[in-house]
Amino acid sequence: MKTKILLLLLLQFSILFSGNRINYFEPRDGSKMVNIENNIIIGFERALSITPVEINDCIQVYGSMSRQCSGKIFIIKEKNKVIFIPDEYFKRGEKITVSIKGRLSDKEIKYRFETSSVKPQWYSDISIEKER
């Protein structure tokens, strides 16, 4: 009986002190043609127990043209998603690298995506001749 209790306690401590796994990134790793106005979303397996200021120290966003990208960090209500909103839009055709480390991950994780090099053309931007 003592062995079962000890194993149960060890299991709870290992879950408590193990790193919180990242479930997904948005935009996804390797994405191309990403809108320059995109935010970055990181989803976690469990609720986070650190503040946005601490999270800001754990996430670095670097652009091939704009260099170090500053921005604001938001945590959603359930505390299992982090949203990074850049202070300035990314540049067209830019390669973005996101680095996650510190209290957000046991080891440093890097993922990359690329913004679209062309401006999307919306229907309102297209001049259409009226039929007579």
- Of the pLDDT bands very low, low, confident and very high (cuts 50, 70, 90), residue 59 is very high
Full-prediction pTM beyond 0.85?
no
Cα–Cα dist 85/52, whole Å: 12
Cα–Cα dist 18/21, whole Å: 9
Helix (H, G, I), strand (E, B) or coil at 17: helix
Domains, the chain, ranges and CATH? 20-118 (2.60.40.3780)
* Segment 105-110 mean pLDDT: 86
- Of the pLDDT bands very low, low, confident and very high (cuts 50, 70, 90), residue 107 is confident
User: What DSSP line would sit under 90-109, residue for residue?
Assistant: PPTT-EEEEEE-GGG-SS-E
